[in-house]
Structure 1
Amino acid sequence: MRYIVIGAGAVGGTIGARLYQGGHDVLLIARGAHHEALKRSGLRLITPDSAETLDIPAADGPVPTRDDDVLILATKSQDTIAALAPWPSDLPVVCAQNGVANERMVLRRFERVYGMCVWLPAQMPEPGVIAAHAYPYSGMLHVGRYPQGVDELAETIVSDLGKRGLVARTSPQVMRWKYAKLLSNLGNAVEALVGHVPGMSDVAQRARAEARTVLARAGIDYATPEEESEARGHKVDPRPIEGIDRSGGSSWQSLARASGSIEADYLNGEIVLLGREHGVPTPVNETLRREANRVARERQAPGSMPLEGLLALIDGRSAAGSR
């Protein structure tokens, strides 16, 4: 079986590297300078206790496929449709992405779709280099068939992932884990907008409290913090890597790259959508969604918005009773 990792950035690159180290056939799909570096020098994977250069095959677009190919999609949610458009729809797709909308989007075209809930703190400090900060394992991955269930392929994927540097588990209700991860990701926009300043976590908690009300009204279940803590244990603990400053999360990194887009529509925006469907106001998440998109569109640097300005917008929208 060959794993084709579409979007071999921080998360996809780490997953691809660990699969390759475990003896599996892997192809990384990347773009621009990252692809050029992979082709020229291989993938440099740096962890808290090791550094290794891996000669993993790489391409910058679709390649002739095989019957045993599995697509691992690790792009941002806003790029899902475009990233998969050139690939044959008879291949299985694993959505190794934040948010909960990707699996349903992919299922419109691909029959075999798998959700993957990813806890994997990593970054790409430069093209061709991935820094995976967790120790002793680089990440915790829950995998299941979408919309529910575990089949033979899910079992095989989990077995392959667990051979080197990753903790992987099957889950017949994988979306419970992805909704729990969604709650934690609601703070991504806050971090990206204002940076690590006093009061940042309070705004993130307001976004999560609002989201829990929405999920309760919608009747959507999610893994509890106790379940998450038990699953990770001390297996996936972020650690410093000498010589590499750990930057912010995925949304912070999108702004730092000045990519022009950000994932907020599929994180905070998911809560806004559910709130509108079920009649629950979501002023905190709607403000975060709008402002994150504005800052990304204007290519502003991460942490460039004053916390006081963000709070004023949230309070103004709350007072207006916005949904």
Structure 2
Amino acid sequence: MKFIVLGAGGVGSYFAAKLLRAGHEVLLVARGAHLEALRTEGLHLFHPDLTCSMPVHAVDMEALSSIDVLEYDAILLATKSMATREVAIFLAKRLRGNVKIPYIVSLQNGVENEAILCDYFAEEYVIGALTRKIGAHVIAPGRIEAVGEAETIVGTLFSTAENELFLETLAQSFNEAGIPTHTTYDIRQELWKKLIINNGVNALCALLEVKTGVLFDDTKLSSLVYGLMQETARAARSLHVKISQEDVDAMFELISHFDSIKPSMLVDWEHHRALEIDEICGIVIRALHQIGEDAAYTKTIATLLEFKTEKRNHDRD
């Protein structure tokens, strides 16, 4: 298959490396020093089960404008969630007037990316996806450090015979590339199950500047994580997403027994990048507010993290 990985950071580059090794054609879209390193030195992946280096074809967004995107089977969208609308507008301009377009597969954090993409593209071409049991980060330009197996789930928002066939082909390609993948008929539920994990640990780790393992080594902190997860589940149910208590407990067990990692918000904090607070925490706060409930755990952590971020930005000015 032919893929564009748009947002070739940690997770995007990990997928690119695995797909390239399996013989697929991959175009990486990146920026800055990371892009220059990819062009001149190639992509270097460091994983407990795989260390490899390879030449790659990498471009920036501006150069992507001159590339025939219609030649590709799928665009794997791995940008930060706050960039989804901007990227969707860019792609919509490139693809305007074409009846058939590449499938757009969101591998992002959060549960609202697919709805944003559907504002610009026919929903049968938007594929929801998530990957978990993975920690992958750019440790230096062109160099990716990763742990975990990147368990991936993909699903359509609106099923047709054509996109169901694509989904099976995509899952097969991922599996053959060493990315364990299965399809689902309820991708919305799976996205919220991942958000249970993300809202449980991501902002809290950034606030405390600790890896996930630290949270579960401390009884009081792990109880905070569980409270955040329960709150996320209530938010999901308020939006008519089927999340059971067993789902919450399963997600708690999954992350508590996974390798101790730096979640994405902690990595972004360390690199002075914008944090996905609204995309991960905000949706929980808003959903519960709409039914007259207070998201006490989530609102407290998000508020403290926002204050911490604003203070650092003020101190730097």
Common topology (TM > 0.5): yes
Name structure 1 gaps, 5 residues minimum.
Answer: 239-245, 301-323
TM-score where L is the length of structure 1? 0.81
Aligned residue for 1:75, secondary structure, equals: coil
Alignment correspondent of 2:75: 71
| Structure ranking higher in helix proportion | 2
**CA displacement 1:268-299 (0-9 Å, x = unmatched):** 11111111222221122122223333333444
Alignment correspondent of 2:2: 2
Asked if the contact 1:218/1:278 (under 8 Å) is kept, the reply is: no
Distance 2:69 2:230 in 1: 46
Aligned residue for 2:236, secondary structure, equals: helix
Alignment correspondent of 2:209: 195
Aligned residue for 1:85, secondary structure, equals: helix
Alignment correspondent of 1:27: 27
Distance 2:209 2:136 in 1: 18
TM-score where L is the length of structure 2? 0.82
1:105 aligned partner, one-letter code: I
**CA displacement 1:160-184 (0-9 Å, x = unmatched):** 1111221011112112111100001
Q: Give 1:81 shift.
A: 1.4
Asked if the contact 1:91/1:110 (under 8 Å) is kept, the reply is: no
1:286 aligned partner, one-letter code: K
Alignment correspondent of 1:130: 144
Alignment correspondent of 2:172: 159
Asked if the contact 1:100/1:179 (under 8 Å) is kept, the reply is: yes
Distance 1:205 1:171 in 2: 26
1:215 maps onto 2:236 in alignment: yes
Q: Give 1:5 shift.
A: 0.6
1:277 maps onto 2:298 in alignment: no
Distance 1:281 1:131 in 2: 38
**CA displacement 1:186-230 (0-9 Å, x = unmatched):** 121011001336433232222122222333343311472677699
From 105, 110, 118, give the equivalent of 2:131: 118
Asked if the contact 1:214/1:278 (under 8 Å) is kept, the reply is: no
Aligned residues: CA RMSD: 2.5
Q: Give 1:91 shift.
A: 3.2
Asked if the contact 1:177/1:222 (under 8 Å) is kept, the reply is: no
For residues 263-274 of structure 1, what are the structure 2 equivalents within 5 Å? 263-274=276-287
For residues 221-300 of structure 1, what are the structure 2 equivalents within 5 Å? 221-222=242-243, 224=247, 238=259, 248-259=262-273, 261-299=274-312
Alignment correspondent of 2:112: 101
Q: Give 1:80 shift.
A: 1.0
Asked if the contact 1:114/1:143 (under 8 Å) is kept, the reply is: yes
1:143 maps onto 2:154 in alignment: yes
2:271 aligned partner, one-letter code: R
Asked if the contact 1:96/1:118 (under 8 Å) is kept, the reply is: yes
